[in-house]
Amino acid sequence: MASRKGTAPAARPKERAPGAAPKPAPSNTPPATRPGAERARNIIGKPFRRVDGRAKATGQTKFADDLVFPRMAFLRLVRSTVPHAKIRRIDLDAARALPGVLGFLTGAEMPEPFGILPVSQDEHVLCPDKVRFVGDPVVAVAALTEDQAIAAALAVIVEYEPLATIASVEEAIATPEPRIHDYGDRGNLHKIVSMEFGDVEAGFAAADHVFEDLVFYEGNTHLPMEQHAAVAVPEDTDRITVYSSTQTPHYLHRALAKVLGLPAARIRVIATPNGGGFGGKSDPFNHEICAAKMALELGRPIKITLTREEVFYCHRGRHPVLMKLRTGFTKSGAMTAQHLQTALDGGAYGSYGVASTYYTGALQTVTYRLPRYRFDSVRAFTNKPPCGPKRGHGTPQPRFAFEVHLDKVAHALGIDPAELRLQNLVPANSVTANWLKVGSIGLGRCIEAVVAGSGWRERRGRLPRGRGLGLACGAYLCGAGLPIYWNHMPQSGVQIQLDRSGCVAVFCGETEIGQGSDSVVAACVAEILGVDLKDIRLCVADTDLTPVDLGSYSSRVTVMAGNAAVQAAERAREIVARGAAEELGVPASRLAFAEGRVFDVEDPARGLLFAAAVAAAESRTGTIGTTGSYIPPRSPGRYRGAGVGPSPAYSFSAAVIEVEVDEETGLCDVVHVWIAHDVGQCINPVLVMGQVEGSVYMGLGEACMEEQAFRRLPRARSNALVHKFPSLLEYKSPTFADMPPVTTYIIEDPDPNGPFGAKEVGQGPLLPIMPAVANAIFDAVGVRIDQVPIGPHMILHALAQQAKGKEARFGPKEFPEFDFGIPLAVRTPDEGGDGTASNQEEAKVRKGIGTMTERKEALKGGS
Amino acid sequence: MTTDMMTLVLSINGEDRAVVFPAHHTLLEVLREECGLTGTKHGCELGECGTCTVLVDGVPVLSCLELAAELEGRKIETVEGMQRGNELHPLQAAFADLGAAQCGYCTPGILMAAKALLAHNAKPSVDEIKAALAGNLCRCTGYHKIVQAVEWAAAIARGEGGYAPPREAFFGAAPPEDGAKGARDG
Ligand code: FES
Ligand code: FES
CATH number for the segment(s) A29-61+489-630? 3.30.365.10
Mean pLDDT of chain A: 93
CATH topology of domain A65-163+227-273+281-314: Aldehyde Oxidoreductase; domain 3 (3.90.1170)
In a domain, B58, yes or no: yes
Nearest CA-CA partner of A126 in A142, A99, A106, A153: A106
Alpha-carbon distance B111 to nearest alpha carbon in chain A (angstroms): 8
- In this structure, the number of other CB atoms found within 10 A of the CB of residue B58 comes to 11
Q: Which residues contact A602 (CB under 8 A, 6 or more apart)?
A: A590
pLDDT at residue A8, rounded to an integer = 39
pTM above 0.90, yes or no: yes
Cα A341–A344–A349 angle (5° rounding)?
A: 150
The best mutation among B98, B107, B112 to test binding of ligand 2, ranked by most ligand atoms within 8 Å of the C-beta, falls on: B107
Cα A249–A252–A254 angle (5° rounding)?
A: 115
Q: Which atom of ligand 2 is nearest to the CA of B139?
A: 3
The residue-averaged pLDDT of A197-204 equals 98
Asked whether residue A35 carries a pLDDT value surpassing 60, the answer given is: no
Find out whether the beta carbon of B138 lies less than 6 Å from any atom of ligand 2.
yes
Ligand nearest to the CA of A733: 2
d(CA B186, CA B173): 24
Contact (CB<8Å) B48/A729: yes
The stretches in chain B having pLDDT less than 70 are 1-2, 177-186
Nearest CA-CA partner of A161 in A184, A182, A139, A178: A178
Asked whether residue A131 carries a pLDDT value surpassing 70, the answer given is: yes
d(CA B52, CA B37): 12
Alpha-carbon distance A534 to nearest alpha carbon in chain B (angstroms): 14
Are residue B107 and residue B131 in the same domain, yes or no? Answer: yes
- Which tens digit of pLDDT belongs to each residue from A726-742? 899 899 999 999 999 99
**Closest partner CB to A425 (pick from B104, B136, B185):** B185
Q: Which residues contact A461 (CB under 8 A, 6 or more apart)?
A: A779
* Residue nearest to ligand 2 atom 4, measured at CA: B138
Find out whether the beta carbon of B13 lies less than 6 Å from any atom of ligand 2.
no
Kindly identify which residue of chain A lies nearest to residue B92, measuring between CA atoms: A57
Side-chain half-sphere exposure of A628, counting CA atoms within 13 A: 27
Tell me what percent of the residues of chain A surpass a pLDDT of 90.
90
- Which tens digit of pLDDT belongs to each residue from A268-284? 999 999 999 999 999 99
Nearest CA-CA partner of A167 in A622, A535, A709: A709
Q: Before A646, cis peptide (omega within 30)? A: no
Q: Before A464, cis peptide (omega within 30)? A: no
Rg (CA), chain B: 20
Q: Directed axis angle between helix A685-704 and helix A769-781, to 10°?
A: 50
In a domain, B175, yes or no: no
- Which tens digit of pLDDT belongs to each residue from A531-588? 999 999 999 999 999 999 999 999 999 999 999 999 999 999 999 999 999 999 999 9
Asked whether residue A766 carries a pLDDT value surpassing 70, the answer given is: yes
Strand partners of residue B60? B55
Asked whether residue A613 carries a pLDDT value surpassing 60, the answer given is: yes
Please give the C-alpha separations between residue A537 and each of A250, A492, B14, in angstroms, as whole numbers: 22, 18, 33
In a domain, B180, yes or no: no
Q: Which atom of ligand 2 is nearest to the CA of B140?
A: 2
Contact A212, A813 (CB under 8 A): no
Are residue B77 and residue B95 in the same domain, yes or no? Answer: no
Kindly identify which residue of chain A lies nearest to residue B184, measuring between CA atoms: A444
d(CA A857, CA A162): 32
Q: Which of A303, A459, A736 to mutate to test the interface with B (most CBs of B within 10 A)?
A: A736
pLDDT at residue A724, rounded to an integer = 82
d(CA A523, CA A43): 6
Mean pLDDT of chain B: 94
In a domain, B118, yes or no: yes
Are residue B64 and residue B95 in the same domain, yes or no? Answer: no
pLDDT at residue B74, rounded to an integer = 98
| CATH number, domain containing residue B135 | 1.10.150.120
Asked whether residue A145 carries a pLDDT value surpassing 50, the answer given is: yes
DSSP string, A326-368: EEEE-TTS-EEEEEEEEEEE--SS-TTHHHHHHHHHHGGGSSB
Nearest CA-CA partner of A819 in A140, A187, A320, A249: A187
Tell me what percent of the residues of chain A surpass a pLDDT of 70.
93
Element (H, E) at A189: strand A189-197
Enter the DSSP assignment of A11.
P
Are residue B77 and residue B96 in the same domain, yes or no? Answer: no
Element (H, E) at A232: strand A229-236
d(CA A380, CA A843): 20
The phi and psi torsions of A841 (rounded to 5 degrees) equal -70, -45
d(CA A625, CA A582): 19
Are residue B74 and residue B15 in the same domain, yes or no? Answer: yes
* Residue nearest to ligand 1 atom 3, measured at CA: B47
Helix (H, G, I), strand (E, B), or coil: what is residue A484? Answer: coil
Nearest CA-CA partner of A354 in A392, A320, A315, A393: A393
Q: Which residues contact B134 (CB under 8 A, 6 or more apart)?
A: A735, A736, A737
Asked whether residue A330 carries a pLDDT value surpassing 90, the answer given is: yes
What sign does the CA torsion over A637, A641, A645, A647 have? positive
Domain extents in chain A: 29-61+489-630, 65-163+227-273+281-314, 189-221+317-482+638-810
Q: Tell me which of B24, B59, B81 is where a domain ends.
A: B81
d(CA B186, CA B182): 12
Query: Which alpha helices (DSSP H) does A221-305 contain, by range?
Result: 249-260, 286-298
d(CA A837, CA A827): 7
Asked whether residue A844 carries a pLDDT value surpassing 60, the answer given is: yes
In a domain, B21, yes or no: yes
pLDDT at residue A645, rounded to an integer = 97
DSSP string, B2-13: ---EEEEEEEET
Chain A to chain B Cβ contacts (< 8 Å): 253
Residues of B within 8 A of A59 (CB-CB) are 37-40, 78-80, 107-108
Residues of B within 8 A of A676 (CB-CB) are 175
Residue A745, Cβ density class (10 Å: 0-12 exposed, 13-18 middle, ≥19 buried) = buried
CATH topology of domain A189-221+317-482+638-810: Aldehyde Oxidoreductase; domain 4 (3.30.365)
Contact A209, A412 (CB under 8 A): yes
Contact (CB<8Å) B96/A53: yes
Find out whether the beta carbon of B33 lies less than 6 Å from any atom of ligand 1.
no
Alpha-carbon distance A226 to nearest alpha carbon in chain B (angstroms): 6
Cα A26–A573–A679 angle (5° rounding)?
A: 65
| CATH number, domain containing residue B10 | 3.10.20.30
d(CA A61, CA A54): 9
Are residue B34 and residue B77 in the same domain, yes or no? Answer: yes
Contact A353, A180 (CB under 8 A): no
Cα A577–A582–A583 angle (5° rounding)?
A: 95
Q: Are strands B75-77 and B5-12 parallel, antiparallel or unpaired?
A: parallel
What sign does the CA torsion over A203, A209, A215, A221 have? negative
Are residue B70 and residue B97 in the same domain, yes or no? Answer: no
The residue-averaged pLDDT of A491-501 equals 98
Q: Are strands A504-508 and A492-498 parallel, antiparallel or unpaired?
A: antiparallel
Q: Which atom of ligand 2 is nearest to the CA of A225?
A: 3
Alpha-carbon distance B9 to nearest alpha carbon in chain A (angstroms): 23
Are residue B96 and residue B165 in the same domain, yes or no? Answer: yes
- Which tens digit of pLDDT belongs to each residue from A781-831? 999 999 999 999 999 999 999 999 999 999 999 999 999 999 999 999 999
**Residue A717 binned pLDDT confidence (cut-offs 50, 70, 90):** low
Contact A551, A281 (CB under 8 A): no
**Residue A39 binned pLDDT confidence (cut-offs 50, 70, 90):** low
The residue-averaged pLDDT of A474-500 equals 96
Query: Which alpha helices (DSSP H) does A23-145 contain, by range?
Result: 53-58, 93-96
Contact (CB<8Å) A444/B183: yes
Is there a shared CATH topology between the A65-163+227-273+281-314 domain and the A189-221+317-482+638-810 domain? no
What is the residue range of B22's domain? 5-81
Are residue B71 and residue B96 in the same domain, yes or no? Answer: no
3-state secondary structure A410-471: HHHHCCCHHHHHHHCECCCCEECCCCCEECCCCHHHHHHHHHHHHCHHHHCCCCCCCEEEEE
pLDDT at residue A847, rounded to an integer = 54
**Closest partner CB to B88 (pick from A50, A57, A745):** A57
The residue count for chain B: 186
Residues of A within 8 A of B136 (CB-CB) are 736
Contact (CB<8Å) B104/A61: yes
Q: ipTM of this model?
A: 0.95
Element (H, E) at A754: none
Number of structural domains chain B divides into? 2
